[in-house]
Structure formats: structure tokens, C-alpha cells
Amino acid sequence: MRLPTAVNVFDVGCRDGFQMEKQFIPTSEKVAIVNRLARLGFRKMEITSFVSPRAVPQMQDAALVVAGAERVAGVTYAALVPNMKGAQRALETGVDELNVVFSVSESHNRANLRMPVADSLKNVADVISLARDQGGKPVNVSLATSFGCPFEGEVPRERVLKLAREALAMGAASLSFADTTGMANPRQVYELLGSFRDQFPDVQVTLHFHNTRAMGMANILAGLQAGVTNFDAALGGLGGCPFAPGASGNVATEDVVHMLEEMGISTGIDLDGLLETARYLEKVIGRTLPGQIMKAGKVKDLHPLACEQ
């Protein structure tokens, strides 16, 4: 089994997790979680989203969250931006990196961003230019629904690769392939990422999986075998999918870090600190979250013998 020796896990819970929460999370709590996480060894965190406050009221405090973040050395503080307006707002806050997103599926892009994919691509190009002009900030481009669209089903691999190539030609610093509604399976991940890495061996690529259908961790294993070394995850497994109300969220950061470390793959992340922060997050959110190591303990937490031998 061909596996990397070290991997980056990026926490995106403060963006992809919080944005799904109906009840407004106080800005001070968001900032507290960002700052706790930042001290645990992450090299990048996506801490908020500069979407329309009317569309996503939870993210109305995006600028305040960035302002409250202690800028821990070695951590890239990234924010999602859906469009030029969001990019302008984000760049004013001094965030380190923008993550601009569009869907590779035409119908999902229209449903989510209210425009055809062709217009979204122009948008991506504009955001990249703006970020270059204003401080030379790198832009990661996220290809949503890369592993399937909840309306259309499978998206042809050639289409995903073509759109990835276009984003790179526009100046994307890096790419993410997102399994937006949890439709990816391990064979598909291995094949898509294998093809991508054959064509673009030097491009930094991140995989973003939701555990909606119980395949998130297996998809990470497949991604590792395809040579991917960057994975998004959300603390506690926060997040979700609007099409599957009772379903699980993003893969849980602490469960991903635990699996990688058990496999001998170094993440540089303090797992015990992560578990403490996940438990704190559960208190803030006020309900049990899907993360499993919080409940089961680590493999390395051995038990005393309960009975006489």
C-alpha cells in the first residue's frame, strides 16, 4: 500500500460547519475556536466565508472573526469567497488566502450560485486578478460536486479535469476537489485523483469529503493512495448537506488525524488538544456531534483489566 509519510489536514469547520448551523453562534465563540485550533499545529484553516449576510446570516460576522484571529505563525488563515464582492470584503480584512468555489455540475452551480458555470469561471478569473493586485494573495479554487451532483448524478471525469485545467490557467494557486453532498466512492476518488496527478504532478491539491454516506474515511484512504497529501475536515464532524437532513457532516478533523497517526502518517497536529477542542465545540453547539474518537477514545487509550484473571 503506497502511502505518504506526512499529510496536511486543514480544518474548515468554522466555515463549512458553522454555515450549516441555524442558531447564530456568538462571534466570541467562533473566535475562541479558531484560536484554540490555530495553536494545535494546523498549517491552514478556513475560518469563515464572505457570503451575503442575507443569504447566510451565520456568516455575517466574517470580518470580525478574521479580526479576532490571533495570527499564529505558520498558519494560513483562509476564507471562502463566492464572488467579487466577497473577495473585496475578504481582502480588506487581511486574510492570507481566498478560496473561491464553483460547481462542476451546471445544475448545482445554477442552484447554488445562481449563474451558469461559464459565468462562474469569469468570476474565478476576476477574483484571482483582484487578489493578485491587492497584496498578491493566493487563491485556491474549489471544484464543488466533483464526485457527483445531487441533481445530475455523476459528472464526467473529463469535465472535472477540463474545468480544473481552466482554473489553473487562470492562475489558481491550488485546487480543491469537493465532494459537496457526500457522493464520492473510493474507486472514483482514486481514479479521478490519479488522472489529475498524472496531468498535474506539481499542483497542490486538496480533497474535501463529507461523510454523508459513510464513505468519507475510505475516500481519504483512496486519496492518500493516489498521492494526495492535503485533506479538509471539520472539527467534530460538523457540517451537513441540505439534501440529507439527518445525515452526517464533514469528515471529523480529530477522526481523520487519529486515523492518519495510527497509520504512521504524520500530521503535525496535537490530537489530544484537538479532542479537547472538539468537546468544547459540542458544548458551544449544544448537541452531540458525529466525531467518534471523542466518544470511543483513541486506540492508544488502553483500559485497565476489569476482572480477576
Using the minimum distance from each CB to a second copy, give the nearer residue, 75 or 252. 252
Using the minimum distance from each CB to a second copy, give the nearer residue, 138 or 148. 148
Length of the chain: 309
Which residue(s) pair with 232 in the sheet? 10, 208
Helices (H) and strands (E) in the chain, counts: 11, 8
Catalytic-role residue among 14, 149, 241, 307: 241
Query: Please, what is the minimum distance in Å from the beta carbon of residue 5 to a second copy?
Result: 12
Element of type H or E holding 40: none
Using the minimum distance from each CB to a second copy, give the nearer residue, 151 or 200. 151
Query: Please, what is the minimum distance in Å from the beta carbon of residue 224 to a second copy?
Result: 9
| Residues in contact with a second copy, shown as a per-residue x/- string from 213 to 232 under the rule CB under 8 A | xxx-xx-xxx--x-------
Site for a second copy contains 243 (CB under 8 A): yes
CA 147 vs. chain centroid, Å, equals 15
Query: Please, what is the minimum distance in Å from the beta carbon of residue 13 to a second copy?
Result: 16
Told to judge if 14 belongs to the known catalytic residues of this protein, a careful annotator would answer: no
Query: Please, what is the minimum distance in Å from the beta carbon of residue 205 to a second copy?
Result: 18
Q: Please, which residues have CB within 8 angstroms of residue 198's CB and are 6 or more apart in sequence?
A: none
The answer to whether 75 touches 45, Cβ cutoff 8 Å, is yes
| Residues in contact with a second copy, shown as a per-residue x/- string from 1 to 30 under the rule CB under 8 A | x-x---------------------------
- φ/ψ of 244, rounded to 5, equals -140, 80
C-alpha to C-alpha distances, 108 to 27, 113, 129, 271, nearest whole angstrom:
30, 8, 25, 36
Site for a second copy contains 197 (CB under 8 A): no
- Among residues 95, 92, 83, 91, the alpha carbon closest in space to that of 56 is found at 83
Site for a second copy contains 296 (CB under 8 A): yes
Residues 28-87 that bind a second copy (CB under 8 A): none
| Residues in contact with a second copy, shown as a per-residue x/- string from 154 to 183 under the rule CB under 8 A | ----------------------------xx
| Residues in contact with a second copy, shown as a per-residue x/- string from 88 to 117 under the rule CB under 8 A | -------------------x--xx------
Site for a second copy contains 267 (CB under 8 A): no
Site for a second copy contains 252 (CB under 8 A): yes
* Cα atoms in the Cβ-side hemisphere of radius 13 Å centred on 103: 24
The C-alpha atoms of residue 186 and residue 220 are separated, in whole angstroms, by 8
Residue 70 gets the label, from left (phi > 0), alpha (psi -120 to 50) or beta, of: beta
The C-alpha atoms of residue 96 and residue 136 are separated, in whole angstroms, by 10
Using the minimum distance from each CB to a second copy, give the nearer residue, 46 or 255. 255
Cell 466555515 belongs to residue: 15
The C-alpha atoms of residue 126 and residue 265 are separated, in whole angstroms, by 38
Contact window for a second copy (CB under 8 A) among 23-31, 72-80, 248-256, 279-287: 248-256
- The catalytic residue positions are 241
Q: Give me the residues that bind a second copy (CB under 8 A), please.
A: 1, 3, 107, 110-111, 148, 150-153, 182-183, 185-188, 190-191, 211-215, 217-218, 220-222, 225, 241, 243-248, 252, 255, 258-259, 262-264, 288, 291-293, 295-300, 302-307, 309
